[in-house]
Structure 1
Amino acid sequence: MKKVLFIITIFIATGISAQTKYQTGMQKAFSHWEKGEMNKASQLFERISKAEPTNWLPSYYAATIEILGSFGLKDETKLKAKLTKAQEFLDDAKSNSENNPEIIITQALLNTAYIAFDGQKYGMTLSGKNAQLYAKALKIAPENPRVLLGNAEWNMGAAKFFGKSTKPYCEQIKKAIELGKKEKIEQEFYPKFQVKRAEQVLKQCQS
């Protein structure tokens, strides 16, 4: 009996240790991100993803960092290198969480990075894909504040490009903010809604 209890204790301790290691790693990666240490954050998320091969979150965050870091780049070779790497992370995340609205809208963000770099070169092929991605995400999660905000921002960008008013999308942003404030996140490290950023987008919409 003592031997059985000892074995059970070892299994429990191992499980706790593994969970704590994951939590510590994720917290450290977010800490790097907050400090602006993007490469360290991305590399750590990548290492965690390999240690947690069935968890979509580390790959998702590694992809997000690479995508965000690509905006503003002037060198297309560097842009492609970052976004190719981001796509690999996203594909890995997709393999662990199919039809996940968070991953779907991040794919749209990756496409947007290409379009922002060269609208004439990438806009024709990727704009339609983005419209499909946001439509799919909205169908899966119509009350997801990140999906609503992402879709509104995408439509605002298109409206500005064609010289149209962005006001039709203000209500969608307001709804996203309202839902974001009420949202309760149950899964640890799940993407959170950035209320302050959404409020800034709303100001741009109303201006």
Structure 2
Amino acid sequence: MRNLIIIALFVITGITQAQTNFEKGMTKAFELWQSDKTDEAENMFERIAKAESKEWLPNYYIAQINSLKSWNVKDEAILKAQLDKAQEHLDIAMTKSEENVELLIMQAQVLTNWVAYDGATYGMKYAGKITELYTKALELAPTNPRAAFCKADWSMGSAKYFGQDTAPYCKEIEASIELFDTFKPESDFYPNWGKERAEQVVESCK
């Protein structure tokens, strides 16, 4: 299951001079993150989240940072602290933006962290929920590339685990790359990750 790691890529383009404190803060947070100053970026997102009570994106990125930090963590206490924080901010974000596809995808990612840590303990508990989240995300946004890719990648991991054919999922992931090519983020700060990971998975299929 550890092969389900999703690499987060952030392509922030078209940002000229930020006109609001929110835009300035988000730009700074991404700059810190892209400079591998993850803790500083997380702290910046937390400050923005407190100041901008109606914005879901800062909470989303706090959740994503803690999800990404949790891959390959061996200490359960550390893992739990990170994933509890991710869940806390996801819950907050979901109160700000209901039926949000990107939040459903991130929720599935956080649950996948638990499965990757201990499949025997958390697989039965969360596998069905993860599939349900990706299915709902695709129903809400059939052309969202992350929904398409993540659902296929999760299904591929499950197929490998049970010794089943993965070829159909390779084709689905290949199709998701076309969706990445045509996807237009709603803003400069909107989630826009996943294409590079999808390309890596397709290459491994070959």
Q: Give me the TM-score of the superposition, normalised by structure 1.
A: 0.87
> What's the CA shift for 1:35?
1.7
Per the alignment, residue 134 of structure 1 pairs with: 134
Per the alignment, residue 20 of structure 2 pairs with: 20
For 1:98, give the aligned amino acid.
Answer: E
> What's the CA shift for 1:19?
4.5
For residues 139-164 of structure 1, the C-alpha deviation after alignment (integer angstroms, 9 at most, x for no partner) is 11111001001101111110111122
Per the alignment, residue 88 of structure 2 pairs with: 88
Per the alignment, residue 9 of structure 1 pairs with: none
Equivalent-residue separation in structure 2 for 1:129 and 1:20 (angstroms): 38
> What's the CA shift for 1:138?
1.1
2:100 counterpart of 1:120 = no
Residues 26-41 of structure 1 mapped to structure 2, 5 A cutoff = 26-41=26-41
Equivalent-residue separation in structure 2 for 1:172 and 1:44 (angstroms): 36
Residues 23-62 of structure 1 mapped to structure 2, 5 A cutoff = 23-62=23-62
2:171 counterpart of 1:168 = no
Per the alignment, residue 152 of structure 2 pairs with: 152
Equivalent-residue separation in structure 1 for 2:194 and 2:111 (angstroms): 21
Does structure 2 conserve the Cα–Cα contact (< 8 Å) formed by 1:56 and 1:93?
Answer: yes
Q: Identity across aligned pairs (percent)?
A: 49
User: For structure 1, which segment, 120-129 or 190-199, has the greater mean C-alpha deviation from structure 2 after superposition?
Assistant: 190-199
For 1:33, give the aligned amino acid.
Answer: W
Report 1 or 2 for greater relative contact order, CA contacts < 8 Å, sequence distance ≥ 6.
2
Please identify the structure whose Cα radius of gyration is greater.
1
Higher helix share: 1
RMSD (Å) for aligned C-alpha atoms:
1.6
User: For structure 1, which segment, 116-125 or 23-32, has the greater mean C-alpha deviation from structure 2 after superposition?
Assistant: 23-32
Instruction: Flag structure 1 segments of 5+ consecutive residues without an equivalent.
Output: 1-17
For residues 89-137 of structure 1, the C-alpha deviation after alignment (integer angstroms, 9 at most, x for no partner) is 1011101110111000100000000000000111111001111111111
User: For structure 1, which segment, 169-178 or 78-87, has the greater mean C-alpha deviation from structure 2 after superposition?
Assistant: 169-178
Does structure 2 conserve the Cα–Cα contact (< 8 Å) formed by 1:145 and 1:193?
Answer: no
Per the alignment, residue 102 of structure 1 pairs with: 102
Equivalent-residue separation in structure 2 for 1:26 and 1:44 (angstroms): 8
